[in-house]
Structure 1
C-alpha cells in the first residue's frame, strides 16, 4: 500500500544505508533489526538517537505509524521506519487495539495488560469466544515528507495463563491459527515467518527493496 492521499503515490525504493527505527520498545527494535538484516540496511533506533516519543494521536494503526515515522525522519534527517501494532480481541469490540501499549500502563507492564484482557473476557462469561488478531502497520517516511505504508495481520486465539518467555507484549497469551504453542513459546525465527509484523514486512520488502 502506498502513502495516504487523494492521488496514489509511486512506490519509492529504499537505498542501503542508515534507517531510523522509530521505536523505544527494545523487543520491537530487535525484531525489526532481524527482519531488515538481509537488505543492507544499518538500523539505528530512536532511543539510540535520543529522539522523543511523539504522542500517538491517530485513530488507526496506520495513522499512528505514520506520525511516528514522520517525526523521526524530520528530526534525524534520515529515512525512518515506524511500526504501530496491537492486539484486537473480537469479543471486546477490537480492544485493546490501538491502545494495546496503554493497557500496559506507564511501567509498560504487559503482564498487567494480559491480565486485563483476560479479566475483560472472563467478565463476559466462560462461553465468550477467545478469537483475536494482531495487526502491524509499518510506515516508512523520508525527510522530504514522502511516506509509504503497509499493514499486516495474523489471526489466532487467546489462552490463559500466559505461556512462554520468548517474544514481548501480548505474545505469551496469543496462539496462531493451527498452532499449539503461543507466540511466547515459539522460536523467534518461527515467529518472524508467520507474524503480523512479518506479513507487513513482506509487503514492504516487495515494494521498496
Structure 2
C-alpha cells in the first residue's frame, strides 16, 4: 500500500490501539476472545502484507493464545491493565518505540499524552489501508468481508413443496406429479388398433 510508504525511511513500528479499532468496527464493551483473536489475525496479515512491525495494544486480561509481550503470528501483543489506564499505556508504549513509532488510535487522550515526538494516525485513516486487503481467513472474517454486515441478504434456498399432498395445496395450481400408466386391459388394446370416431 502507498499509505505507509511515507514512513518507510525509518523503521516504522505501528502501535495499534485495538480497542479503538474494534469500536470503529462496531464492537464495543467487553469483546469475546474469539473476536479479539480474529482482529489480531487480521492485523498480523496486514503487518505481513505491508512489511511493517505492529504492536497491538488491548486492554484487560491477556488472552491464552496471545500472551502479553509475546509474538502472535507477525505482531507483538500488549495489554493495558484497565480501560481507565489504556490511554496512558498506549502513549507510553508509542514513546518507548522511538522515532519510528506511529500511534494508531481514536483516543484524543492517548494522542495528547504521546506528545509531539510520536507520529499519529487516526483509526479511520488506518482502516482505509487495513480494510482493503484481501482477508480470506476462512472462519475469521470480519465485518469488512462479511456480506451480511454490508446490508445484503444471504442467498435464499427454495423449498420444494411436497408432491401429491392435497392438504398442503393452499389453493395454488402447481404442476402435478406424473401419473403412473394404468395397466392396459383387453378393451384398451382393441381401442388402440381401431380408429375411434367421437
TM over 0.5: no
Larger Rg: 2
TM-score with structure 1 setting the length: 0.27
TM-score with structure 2 setting the length: 0.29
Structure whose residues are more often strand by fraction = 1
